[in-house]
Chains A and B, each alone.
Chain A
């Protein structure tokens, strides 16, 4: 597919033809003290991180964490109120059109025209990106081939299944051979089989074409597929790293003691801290402790405070534990209404 990549880029100016930032001094996505204020609410609060070349990067956060705002800014639909975001070295606020040429976007809602055929949708998208003629035809054929929909080219989009539509969206996002692909909750509404397919396509893009992929998600199991993750909460970056690294930071096991009430949990948390010199996190009516050799610790605690514990559990840390560890609250409790 390396040759395809060259064909795809050949019509663009020389300085943009470097494949996916191989020699580029810039990271494909640089986010620098980025803030966004909707007037009444601070949606993003001084985010700073880079996305590396040819990685699948996940933005994980509950609704209202700011990931949709960040996605809007990266897709140049909204100008941030503070800080900078650069894609392929270009600033989203001041060089929007250069950013757009380098970026493929797959929105959460379908952006296809259902009254047009698959092929017509792709031709139209190509025209928007300045492609035309035989070059566009060959690109259209390539991307359809890539998502396995060549035989549906002349079918009306309204006759496709949800998974097939999502694949057309992906083809649409790739028509201009972008070096960065942004996807907003890409597996929403897909059945498990279609989800697996989509992730396979994303990996192929990363491995064979060196495309940098950014995916937003609110699903822990999706986030596990990413090479690296940024975890957002209330507009702030709370953790950054590969899923394995993030979970390893927690160390040993997660031991959880459930009590009868939130007050009881607070009391128990303080007493555990006193007695064992650990730093427990109290979430609702449960006390959570991260600890090597969790089963042994569990026995000690239950023996020390027998009357106060309703139930206990020991588990290997999950991404949800990472989230709780960094924010002190549960992932799903944070359901502030996200604006738009």
Chain B
């Protein structure tokens, strides 16, 4: 009767695998993820800054540009149907929030390294994937929440969409949050100073946003700029968000194409961040 109740070797193996996965991957990843959120909400200035600055940016820049764009007749062509530049700029402003939050949360990676926190994580038996998952999902969650919160300004921006469109927009925000956070992770991982990271922000991340169709449409650009914008993976994230918020309008690319490119971008940068972490060498680790 003991044999009747005894688990089979296969089920033991499976249980052991589950146990080892939960103890070396999911629990640590959850713990690192939770830490990102707790830290963020304990630093009130970060919360305020990340909501207020894009709002200001959107209102000031959007209002300023709207005259210019209208007077040249570009806005109507660009935003094709949405009468106001503020509407055109709205998805771009949301992606900007996402970008800022992603950047700031990955800056904490450099801080973790300098303060020694990362050292104790690296010396623990967690799988390296848990570090990537926890940290990137933590940053991505924050970025996505910030982006979603900004959706309350939809009425102000003249957004007319369906519930499904809104869900699609939220998905676009979530995926873009993930890819930008993972990109921040890849950049921040080998760095030991936030100053160097700032340089990269100005050199790579801000231009990435500027040339993503956030401020002006791909169709409005010409020559080499248009080519660069087409190569920019963020272009498709911004366009995807536009698909969701303004389903009636014709966007640069089809919703399906935008979704595929955005998902592939997520996968590529995630694998990238996984790869940079999984190097164990005979050089000092941190």
Contact = CB atoms under 8 A, between A and B. Distances in A.
A172 B35 contact: no
Interface stretch (A21-29, A120-128, A329-337): A120-128
B124 A79 contact: no
Contact of B117 (A96, A113, A127, A339): A113
Contacts of B23: 130, 132
Interface of B: 22-24, 27-28, 30-32, 35, 38-39, 42-43, 115-117, 119-126, 280-286
Interface stretch (A100-108, A195-203, A217-225): A100-108
B117 A77 contact: no
Contacts of A130: 22-24, 27-28, 125
Interface string A28-58: 0000000010100000000000000000000
Contact of A78 (B39, B120, B282): B282
Interface of chain A, helix or strand or loop or mixed?
loop
Contacts of B281: 78-79
Given A77-B122, A105-B120, A130-B22, 19 more contacts: A72-B284, A75-B123, A77-B284, A79-B280, A79-B282, A81-B282, A97-B24, A107-B116, A110-B116, A111-B116, A111-B117, A113-B35, A114-B115, A115-B39, A120-B38, A125-B124, A127-B27, A128-B126, A339-B284
A186 to B, nearest CB: 14
Interface in A281-307: none
B285 A109 contact: no
A116 B39 CA distance: 7
Interface of A: 36, 38, 72, 75-81, 96-97, 100-101, 105, 107, 109-116, 120, 123-125, 127-130, 132, 172, 339-340
A240 B106 CA distance: 45
A124 B181 CA distance: 22
A78 B285 contact: yes
Given A107-B116, A107-B119, A113-B39, A129 B31 contact: no
A77 B286 contact: yes
Contacts of B122: 77
Contact of B284 (A97, A172, A340): A340
A126 B286 CA distance: 21
B21 to A, nearest CB: 10
A38 B283 CA distance: 7
